Amino acid sequence: MAEVRVKGRDGTELTLDAPDGRPLMDILRDSGTGVEGTCGGMCSCGTCHVYVDAAWVDRLPPKSEDEDMMLEALGEVVELRPNSRLSCQIEISDELAGLSVEIGPAA
């Protein structure tokens, strides 16, 4: 079990329990943060967009080709930053204890 720190779109800051092996998107969706996860984590909706805290960007697994393609499409309608990730592609593990993200705009 890890804890993740989350800044909501309205600036609210939360600390959430995040069980190992679950996608970050599930944690965010089930905690009322406004993340919808419409595609269920299939990397095809962009509703789970987050900005990852700079200290964590290089500690996450690299983006897959599918995530890159979805982010590229999302970037046509919302602001992307170099630290943009899809939270459905981030699997919680002990190594991510303390991960800090901000909920990003979604399509």
> Which CB, 2 or 48, lies closer to ligand FES?
48
Structure tokens at 98: 């303390």
Distance (Å, whole) CA 87 – CA 43: 9
Residue 24 binds to ligand FES (criterion: CB under 6 A): no
Q: How far is the CB of 38 from ligand FES (least distance, A)?
A: 6
The site map against ligand FES for 67-96 (x = CB under 6 A) is ---x---------------x-x--------
Distance (Å, whole) CA 8 – CA 66: 25
Residue 103 binds to ligand FES (criterion: CB under 6 A): no
Distance (Å, whole) CA 71 – CA 59: 19
Q: Which residues are near ligand FES by CB under 6 A? A: 25, 37-39, 41, 43-48, 70, 86, 88
